[in-house]
Amino acid sequence: MTQHATPTPTPAAAADQLDYLRERGIGALATTMGVEFTEFTTERAVAVMPVEGNTQPIMLMHGGAYVVLGETLGSMHANLVAPEGHVAVGLDINATHTGSARTGMVTGVCTPIKLGRSVAVHEIVITNDQGQRCSTVRITNFYKRIAG
């Protein structure tokens, strides 16, 4: 799960929250899988990911790919809104797959369910190009104090 040993750029200092993502990066796995953020605010985060290259042998989007998209969105958003001097560390993630994608892009929309002092819980709804829900991911992050 997401964990960082060194302090990250302060989101409040970034003129645009997408600049925060560019400064920090989204991680090698998310980059390799083609995740691209299209919206990143304190209210929600939105990203797209291609189906091509992220499929299982029967050419449906791999369930683990939905989880990667969900964790990327939830962890990055939790870090954006983290209390000063803290980083988000994943505690729990689960996904329920209720549809599928074979081509095109999937879109994940991440909204906070609970933003507390020590934990953040997010729901990520992932849809295919036709707007049909394919997966619902829930992630819980713990806010860990940065040493030093």
Query: Which sequence positions are flagged as catalytic?
Result: 71
Residue from 2, 8, 25 nearest 85 by CA: 8
Q: Can you tell me which residue has the tokens 């409040």? A: 12
Residue type, 83: P
Residue type, 51: V
Radius of gyration of the chain from its Cα atoms, rounded to whole angstroms: 15
Alpha-carbon span 59 to 143, nearest angstrom? 37
b/e burial code for range 107-128 (CB count within 10 A of at least 16 → b)? bbbbebeebeeeebbbbbebbb
